[in-house]
Amino acid sequence: MRPVLIIVCVIALCICAGCTGTGQKSSYSVDNNGVLAVTCAPVTTSEEVLFSNETYTKTRIIMHTQTGDVISYLAAPTQPKAAIVYVPGAGEKIDGHEQRMVQYAAAGYAFLFVDIRGNGAETPGYPFNPEADYVLFEKGQWPQFYGIVCDLSTARRMLADRFDVPVYALGSSNGGRYAAVAAAVDPQFSGYIGISTSGFGMAGEQYSGDARRFLLSVDPDNYISRISPRPVWIFHSKTDSIIPFMDGKKLYERAEDPRTFTEFDGGHGINSDVDDRIILQWAQIYGNRG
């Protein structure tokens, strides 16, 4: 095993094909059903290699977006069989996922931890706040929620361009909400995995006008069926004390086939039981690749 300090490299690459430096701007729209559509401008990235051995390479990647830098961490083998864009729950930091990243990489999968905006780590922003986002929506500005959806789509494109493999959106707790919307909005995601998460019960239906459209636009319950025919896999524990088990079941029931609901051992959030089940299932799907 080589020392942790390897090399620092800076990359200025357009993540999407056809980037010409013409000043393209990101844009969004929300239809009368509260369904979000986004066009995400190309970004450049800076990348630092933190560690490398014969099994995997870990890098810190900064996505330089038009609305600020977004930090992410990637652990990947040379030729992964599939890739994950992981969206953490509130307050989750990279330090708690080091072993997880190694486990997925050793099993043949690229794992990208996105330090989403406002999660209290390296990427600036504010914690999930529909009221603050609605103020921005009313002004025709970018709600942070929509910016995170764009960030996740950009991350998906980055992994697909780099490895040419299927890329899944995986999120835990509140991160599962962002991931569900991103997977529905970006049809190039190969599927969605939500852990200890839920929608908001279509609460926006109680309102009218802009308030209704906005609230529905950030509600996973309004999107989960739109992920089909790509697979949806929901994990929830009956002992979850933060997001009730039945709320997770309701999100699953709104999904279309192919869909799977798995009760896992533990409390709230991603854990080793979830990791083992995902890797075991993917071994059957991707075992002959690579």
Place of tokens 């075992």: 287
- Does the global pTM surpass 0.75? yes
pLDDT at 59: 98
Residue 173: is it exposed, middle or buried by C-beta count within 10 angstroms (0-12/13-18/19+)? buried
pLDDT at 110: 98
Provide the residue type at 123 as one letter: T
Q: Rounded distance, CA 120 to CA 134, Å?
A: 21
Q: Strands 7-9, 44-52: parallel, antiparallel or unpaired by DSSP? A: antiparallel
Structure tokens of 152? 């996740």
pLDDT at 10: 39
pLDDT at 267: 96
Q: What is the pLDDT of residues 193-207, one digit of tens each?
A: 999 999 999 999 999
pLDDT at 170 over 70: yes
The CATH code for residues 7-286 is 3.40.50.1820
Q: For residue 109, what are the contacts with CB-CB under 8 A and spacing of at least 6?
A: 76, 77, 80, 81, 82, 83, 84, 279, 282, 286
Mean pLDDT lowest for which of 14-23, 37-46, 65-74? 14-23
pLDDT at 290 over 90: no
Q: What is the pLDDT of residues 94-150, one digit of tens each?
A: 999 999 999 999 999 999 999 999 999 999 999 999 999 999 999 999 999 999 999
In which band, very low, low, confident or very high, does the pLDDT at 289 lie, cut at 50, 70 and 90? low
Q: What is the pLDDT of residues 123-137, one digit of tens each?
A: 999 999 999 999 999
pLDDT at 287: 82
Q: Rounded distance, CA 122 to CA 124, Å?
A: 6
Q: Rounded distance, CA 93 to CA 115, Å?
A: 7
The residue extents of the domains of the chain are 7-286
